Structure 1
């Protein structure tokens, strides 16, 4: 597993106080879950977000974002945010809150 440990720790700090939080190694990185649903993660130095199709399409209009294409085929409900898009604490919190909002809309799996 190769992922930016500093970024993972920043995300962990924003996520760990949330009810239903857990971590799992996935996609060659680390994934943060809420009630068993994938929420966000870190793959190499990229922030990975699960936003749902509508929010993901809208988010792709923002700078430093791109489709998540882990399998070679874009995943319509997920995006990557490159380092300039999450550099500030405020930007990282914004993105994490977007993913949390989507994960909380899903039925719990745990």
Structure 2
């Protein structure tokens, strides 16, 4: 499951510069220019970094919830139902815009 979702992310984010992967958050994250864009948790959940300014827009999409690690809500990150194309496309577009505006590491 993790590999299929990771392949899906790589395909959807292929237009972003300097893509790489890194183990983070107990899973594997897709990075662009040294910044996390999205990732797959060990349990197969899809997490997307939309950025705090985009949280409200992301949470309006069906299939999107705030990302939690234990009892803590992670600001700027959402969990996405990757079987929902609208949620996936919408959150990845927000993530692409947010991460592209950050300076390269």
TM range (shorter): 0.7 to 0.9
Aligned residues: 104
TM-score, scaled relative to structure 2: 0.84
Q: Assess if the C-alpha contact under 8 Å between 2:55 and 2:76 holds in 1.
A: yes
Match of 1:20 in 2: 18
CA distance in structure 2 between the partners assigned to 1:64 and 1:57 by the alignment = 14
Deviation of residue 96 (structure 1)? 1.9
Structure 2 unaligned blocks of 5 or more = none
CA distance in structure 2 between the partners assigned to 1:25 and 1:98 by the alignment = 22
Match of 2:62 in 1: 63
Deviation of residue 71 (structure 1)? 4.5
CA distance in structure 2 between the partners assigned to 1:16 and 1:40 by the alignment = 12
Deviation of residue 69 (structure 1)? 1.2
Q: Assess if the C-alpha contact under 8 Å between 2:52 and 2:75 holds in 1.
A: yes
Please, which of 40, 43, 46 is the counterpart of residue 42 of structure 1?
40
How large is the RMSD of aligned CA atoms in angstroms? 1.9
CA distance in structure 2 between the partners assigned to 1:61 and 1:92 by the alignment = 13
Match of 2:77 in 1: 78
Structure 1 unaligned blocks of 5 or more = none
Runs of 4+ that moved beyond 4 A? 88-91
